[in-house]
Amino acid sequence: MTPTALLDRPATRGAPLVDPFGRAISYLRVSVTDRCDFRCVYCMPEAMTFLPKAEVLSLEEIDRLASAFIRRGTRKLRLTGGEPLVRRGIIDLVRALGRHLRTGDLDELTLTSNGSQMVRHAEDLFAAGVRRVNISLDTLDPGKFADITRWGRLPQVLGGIAAASAAGLHVKINMVALAGVNDGEVEAMLAFCATHGHDLVLIETMPLGEIGVDRVDHYLPLSRVRADLETRWTLDDLPDNTGGPARYVRIRETGQRLGFITPLTHNFCESCNRVRLTATGQLYMCLGQDDVADLRSVVRTSDDDNALDAALTEAITRKPRGHDFVIDRRAAAPAVRRHMSVTGG
């Protein structure tokens, strides 16, 4: 992709996207690929079936869609997947999207990654305008890391995290809390993050997609993790300004920030400012609902940005009030059939 070709597209500002509940859409997450070089047990089965390439948006199509959202008030853009850094040409896309940072139309361009390819890409990401990345790391134990990710190896990811920091990227570590697997390791992860200056965010498992095992066995409510931490540390709640499911505290004794993403035990929907675009151009107005708007057909049938604008306006009128997640022994199937790697984490 030639970023200069993309600069030619006129950037006239459209009306902000506001949903029927008065929530302004200012945050877009884009899954740039459903593919991944890991097979985390809670995310996808080992023999995962990926989408045919023809169904996946081109980099130009992703750019066009993301830019349409930016014209309509998106201030923060997160690229995710699958593993975004395994997508060929990803740095070209990041560079192209970086133009919106320079014009001031976008506040932040960021990425969620498993860190496996970060050594190769960290400096280019920084040069393109990325300042913060989320990197997933559920354990510091090499054996457990290989068990959880199946195909991942801990030294590769630790190297990626170090490379990100060295390039000037602020790193937030995402740790999925898994009962009987890493519940004894929160303290060690906090110490690792304190040493290296990373933030830590703990994530509750979400019922997204068939994974071949029962999630209930490893479901660990973060309320329990928090209660355990509070027996040793003082956790001061920080004001919420993310509009998302993360709640932050500061550990008074160390000054460290710690986040909890608890979609199941905490209702964050009333302040939801985000929508998610899949690698095939399907717009999910809610992570926890199946309703979807097909934006790929719009970008593939028309070069007219007015038609795209109209499709965005229509989609946002369908944003639901909230989600209906539940992890329940009685529920035979996941609440939502698609995998996290489809909608993006």
Q: Please, which residue, 43 or 312, has the CB nearer to ligand SAM?
A: 43
Within 10 A of 44 (CB to CB), how many other CB atoms are there?
A: 25
145 binds ligand SF4 (CB under 6 A): no
From ligand SF4, ligand SAM, none, which one binds at residue 205 (CB under 5 to 8 Å depending on kind)? ligand SAM
Q: Which residues of 243-262 are buried (b: 16+ CB within 10 A; e: fewer)?
A: bbbbbbbebeeeebbbbbbb
Q: Please, which residue, 26 or 112, has the CB nearer to ligand SAM?
A: 112
**Residue 116 parent element (H or E):** none
From ligand SF4, ligand SAM, none, which one binds at residue 137 (CB under 5 to 8 Å depending on kind)? none
From ligand SAM, ligand SF4, none, which one binds at residue 39 (CB under 5 to 8 Å depending on kind)? ligand SF4
Residue 113 dihedral angles phi and psi, to the nearest 5°: -140, 155
Query: d(Cα 98, Cα 96) in Å, to the nearest integer?
Result: 5
Only one residue has tokens 């970008």, namely 299
Binding piece for ligand SAM, criterion CB under 6 A, among 68-76, 80-88, 120-128, 226-234: 80-88
Binding piece for ligand SAM, criterion CB under 6 A, among 17-25, 110-118, 119-127, 217-225: 110-118
Residues in the chain: 345
Minimum separation from the CB atom of position 329 to ligand SF4 (A): 24
44 binds ligand SF4 (CB under 6 A): yes
Minimum separation from the CB atom of position 11 to ligand SAM (A): 28
80 binds ligand SAM (CB under 6 A): yes
Query: d(Cα 345, Cα 133) in Å, to the nearest integer?
Result: 13
Binding mask 282-321 for ligand SAM (x = CB under 6 A): ----------------------------------------
Q: Output the residue with the shortest Cβ distance to ligand SAM.
A: 345
| Interacting residues of 143 by C-beta distance below 8 A, sequence separation 6+ | none
Q: Which residues of 297-319 are buried (b: 16+ CB within 10 A; e: fewer)?
A: ebbeeeeebeebbebbeebbeeb
34 binds ligand SAM (CB under 6 A): no
30 binds ligand SAM (CB under 6 A): no
Q: Please, which residue, 44 or 298, has the CB nearer to ligand SAM?
A: 44
Bridge partner residues of 29 (DSSP): 78, 276
Structure tokens at 157: 């990811």
Only one residue has tokens 């809610």, namely 286
Footprint on this chain of ligand SF4 (rule: CB under 6 A): 36, 38-40, 43-44, 81-83, 114, 136, 149, 341
